[in-house]
Structure 1
């Protein structure tokens, strides 16, 4: 019985781009630059949601538990967030209370903080993505709890940083693989 090397592609760039691009678009809204609209909701369903779930399943196939849990969870986060926004508009559910959204963001922030602890064994780019996401969830929770649009706008700008850092990490992986060398550094840990 022969074992062949894994020839499947790295699914992380797909998951990071789905997360990053959707995060950037939503946080342009949070920063006050435009209204919540169908473009953001569509990205939340398809690229932030479904594409990340696909990436998580591909990470499972590669045996990467961290990637499986992260991408599948955040893909389902985006689908849940869109449902929280759309179901009440369709008359299918009552709108979520402020306290409910605060709890939603706190729980996702705690989950992300646990994953951030796992990134400490990974490259710096991944640490930046998860660390800035912990901060984003905290700001969103505080902004909702206080009903303070200024904090939500600050969260929007911080969310732009988070999303752009994920896009950078994704494109760095793609370009580094294509060129077979470090084109965009990820801040890799030194090999022991």
Structure 2
């Protein structure tokens, strides 16, 4: 028997989250229309790829990674279902208040996940802090019916998604180069 080094599934999950988040929030900010590109990205890269990354984090024994990627993968899958099922006639459309409650629940979950990052890198903390803020803004914007808040959330969401893309690429490049080429803001290890 030999020691087998497992690859890090985190960058795939982070890219699935980051790229999909940027794309959807380009729409929320008013830069692009809502099209099948956003739905497809949410279904495949935001949903499926993150679920797979979560399963691989399970194999590595990483409870945080498992919980994050499986949960946010299911967020994207459920969001696509929320948007598509009414179009197929399989469910009634959700009103803005119900959508706001859905987003608020994800915000509460994300706040707790953020607390789990407090001994991690500053880059990971930023991803979860900005995601918590994004869910809060989107929840408030939907419940209040404020297009301005949703548009502002779009700009904040672009920043959130971009931070996840940076973290993913920093992990890949740092591993490939065998050194810290892209800083992550390493945290104190003492707990």
TM range (shorter): over 0.9
Q: Gaps spanning 5+ residues in structure 2: where?
A: none
Pairwise CA RMSD of aligned residues?
1.0
Partner of 2:168: 170
Is 1:144 the counterpart of 2:136? The answer is: no
Unaligned runs of 5+ in 1: none
1:114-153 mapped onto 2 (5 Å cutoff): 114-153=112-151
> Could you say which residue in structure 1 is the equivalent of 2:64?
66
Counterpart for residue 89 of structure 2: 91
CA–CA separation in structure 2 for the residues paired with 1:161 and 1:6: 36
TM superposition outliers: structure 1 runs of 4+ over 4 Å: none
- The 1-side partners of 2:189 and 2:95 are apart by 49
SS in 1 for 2:116: helix
TM-score if structure 1 supplies the norm length? Answer: 0.96
1:89-138 alpha-carbon deviations (Å, 9 max, x no partner): 11111001222111101100000000000000111000000000000000
**Partners of 2:107 and 2:41 in 1: CA distance:** 21
Q: Cα distance, 1:5 vs. partner?
A: 3.7
Partner of 1:155: 153
Distance 2:188 2:152 in 1: 35
Inter-CA distance 21–102: structure 2 relative to 1 (3 Å threshold) = same
Cα drift, residue 56 of structure 1: 0.2
1:53 aligned residue (30, 51, 54)? 51
| Counterpart Cα distance in 1 of 2:41 and 2:75 | 13
In the superposition, the TM-score normalised over structure 2's length comes to 0.97
Deviation (angstroms), 1:34 = 1.5
Aligned length: 190
Q: Distance in 1 between matches of 2:112 and 2:181?
A: 30
DSSP 3-state at the match of 1:182: coil
Aligned mate of 2:98, from 97, 100, 122: 100
Q: Name the CA distance, whole Å, in 2 between partners of 1:187 and 1:118.
A: 16
Q: CA deviation at 1:191?
A: 4.5
